[in-house]
Structures are given as C-alpha cells and as structure tokens.
Amino acid sequence: MTAHATLFKPLTLGKITLANRIAMAPLTRNRAAAGNVPGPLAAVYYAQRASVGLIISEATQISPIGQGYIATPGIHSAEQIAGWRTVTQAVHTAGGRIFMQLWHVGRISHTSLLPDGQAPVAPSAIRAASKTFTSEGFVDVSMPRALRREEIAQTVADYRQAALNAMAAGFDGVEIHAANGYLIDQFLRDSSNRRDDDYGGSIDNRARFLREVVAAVSGVVGADRVGVRISPVSAFNDIRDSAPQALFEAVAAQMQALGIVYVHVIEGQTGGDRNTPFDYRALRRQFKGAWIVNNGYDAAMADTAITAGDADMVAIGRPLIANPDYLARVANGAALNPLDQATLYGGDAHGYTDYPTLTP
C-alpha cells in the first residue's frame, strides 16, 4: 500500500489537472548563465523533479531593475525566454507541469547588480536591515529610492510583459511573488510603505499595487493560470506589519474577487519557526481557490493538512533539492538524501543535478 495516499490524489487547478498534491517550492539556486539566462543544466534539474504535481520555478526577475542577487534568471530578454523554453519542454516531456514565479526584489538589492549602478527602488526610501548575494559574497543591501507614480505604472506593465514572456517560454501559468519582503510585500507592509498617496496609508491603498499587478497579469494569461505567494508573518528581509491578520485577510478576499487560481502561503517565518501566532484558516475562508501551504512540511504533515481541509496542496522545498524522486521515496517509505548546504547557491552540477535516486 502506498504511504500517504492522500498526497497522490489528483488536483484540478483551473484548466489543468495535476497528478498529485505536492508542489516544488520556488528555490533560488544562483546558477543562471551570462545574461541571467537559465542554462542547460536547469532543464535537467527541473525535469528530474517533474513527478511532483506542480513545479514552481525559482524566483525570476521581471526586469533588470528587479534583480537582487547574482546569477538569478530573468524573463525580460529573448535569450532568457529561449533558455526557459528548454526548461519547460524538458518538464513537459517528463510529464510535469510548471509555473514561473515572477519576481521584483525592490529594495533587497545592491547597486552592483543593477544597470549603471542605479539605486534599488521601493515604495519608500527606507533601507532594509538585510543582506544580498553579489560577486563579493553577502553584502548589505543598498539604500533604495521611492518609486514615482509613473514608475509604479511601468512596473505593473513589466509584470504584464513578463507574464506574456513566461507563456511564450511554454509555462503553464505564473505565480506572482508577493512574499518574503520583496517589492510587492514592501508595498503591503506599513513598516516599509510610508507613502502619502493612494498606494500608502490604509490597507486598501497598500494592497493597490498587488491588485494592479494581479489584474494586469490575469488580463493577458487568464486568472485561471495565476497564483500569488504571500508570507503573512515572516520577518524575512526586515519586513513587518502592525496588523498582519487584518492585512492578509483583506488580501485573500481581494484575490478571491480577482478570481486567481491559487494562493500559496508561507506559514510562520520563512525557512524557520512555524509557530508565530496567526489564523491561517481565517484567510482561507476568504479565498475559495486552491490553497497551497509551505514551510517545513514533511510527508506526514502534508497528509494531515490536506486530509483536515487546511490545504489542497503542499509545497516542498529543500527536500526536493536533495531528492529529485521525492514522491517515490514517500510512496515507498524510503529514507531521504541529506541536503548538501554548501552547494545550495551557485556552482555547477554538483549538488544540483547529481543527487542519487532510488533507481539510478
């Protein structure tokens, strides 16, 4: 008998049927080639993991000013689109489904990573107490400048074009990254958004940028191919809010009104403690689409969450780096490979495409 059989039930996601309830979480690996183009190894890496119900790609910048870390891929040039097309073809050939995560880091960047040494952009000129990864290693992020209104409109247009580019590259849909202290999250939170126009102040105003991005992207790819990722209580990248429960219940209700296909929620602190108090069920009551949960789940926890109705799907992160055959191991009760921490960020095939499987 298959262990954790609930995880192997199919799930309808818009017009797509997923084979099972495990998603591959977006996982930054810092292995893009020159021009921030995904290289040939990326196609191997993702195809190896195509047995999961849905792959969500590593975070992918929508524009040159949206980059925050060295060697992360983009989706704003013809070369990047072509590179990603080899990835989606490999995943589809292996029977998988893949969404692209659309990313703008906002203030979590460094002048050395941006065109002409520009300052990063943000809703307000408030520097984050955070670091980013450059050719010099981890360094403090640079002081950002506040986006002008016309630049906000251009950034929304950049998301729209990036979504079109993702579809041209063969993706099954897109996930808008509104979590982890990056640009959209910076607009949402009152610690990083001190604007005095209609993009700041009230919860409704602070959520305006997210709504505009979701509406623009949905308008070109269809809301049934759009997901949004949020992290209501995570302090990652020096982000916080004075009333996260009210904020994210409002966000969930607005995503319901926009008709997107899923919400992907990081529970607790990103990559850490899951126990920060928060009522996730209250969010789910506001949203009727698919609900994907994330952060420290193992197979037993995932089975319990889906069986209890607290999730439709569970995103798995680092265990899927070390175990491309994660689902086969779960089904057979087999031990998982340990993760090689030293090869997470940057490098070659080692720690990327050479993890052993049960049947070599």
- Residues with catalytic function: 182
Length of the chain: 360
Contact 279, 245 (CB under 8 A): yes
Distance CA 289, CA 259 (A): 8
Nearest residue to 216 (alpha-carbon basis) of 39, 62, 352 = 62
CA 127 to CA 151: how far, in whole Å? 19
Q: For 127, list phi and psi in degrees, rounded to 5.
A: -80, 135
The CA-CA-CA angle for residues 45, 50, 51, to 5°, reads 135
- Cα→Cα distances 163→27, 57, 92, 192, 214, Å: 19, 13, 19, 26, 10
What are the structure tokens assigned to 360, written together? 């070599």
Contact predicate 253/197, CB 8 Å: no
What does the block give as tokens for 201? 């102040």
